[in-house]
Amino acid sequence: MLLLFGQHLTRIAALTTHAVSAVGEDTFLTLDLTSIPLPASLASLLADLRDMPAPTNWAANPAQDWLFPGGRPGRHLSATVIGRRLAAHHSPNRPARATALVALAQDLPPAVLGPMLGLHPVTAAHGRRRASTDWTAYLEARLTAPPR
């Protein structure tokens, strides 16, 4: 989710099992208000995490349906723990997130990207600037192009 959607580790850590849903053969991830279709490989991993039974050693304090449950009852993994695990696999989170946002910003305007991923409008616009793509040239070309 970090590499595909450029999400902060704090948001990834706090995802619940309800954020992953299946409709027919398709699996979706809801990050803000928009359900995003997932590639098959990520969909199967998240479906496995969603369908795992709650830890049985928490009988006195049941799990809270976290996608990434932590070691303490009712708590999810911390962003720090996830960051350390990613770093152990040579995937530093800040550069990975920035790269993912730039890649997405090349294909989507900030007005679409922000609400889809739950990003602040300034963050979405910053990703567009980093991608060095600007839709104003396209709009100007459309306005000045002769009709067919």
Handedness of CA 77, 50, 115, 136 (dihedral sign): positive
What pLDDT shows up at residue 126?
A: 80
Residue 26 is encoded by which pair of tokens? 């398709």
pLDDT string in tens for the chain (148-residue length): 888 888 889 999 999 999 999 998 999 999 877 889 999 999 999 999 898 876 666 555 555 788 888 877 778 899 999 999 999 999 888 888 888 888 888 888 888 888 888 888 888 888 777 776 566 666 777 777 666 6
Confidence (pLDDT) at 116: 86
What local confidence, expressed as pLDDT, does residue 147 receive?
A: 65
Query: Where do the H-state alpha helices sit in the chain?
Result: 2-5, 9-13, 40-51, 79-88, 93-107, 110-117, 121-131, 136-144
Beta bridge partners of 21: 28
pLDDT for the residue numbered 39: 92
What integer pLDDT is reported at residue 74 of this predicted model? 78
Q: CB of 67 within 8 A of CB of 19?
A: yes
- The DSSP bridge partners found for residue 28 are 21, 37
Residue type at 29 in one-letter notation? L
Tell me how far apart the alpha carbons of residues 22 and 94 are, in angstroms, rounded to a whole number.
30
61/77 Cα distance (integer angstroms): 16
* pLDDT at residue 148, as a whole number: 63
What are the residue ranges spanned by the domains of the chain?
Answer: 2-144
Q: What is the per-residue pLDDT for 135?
A: 64
Task: State residue 14's pLDDT score.
Answer: 92
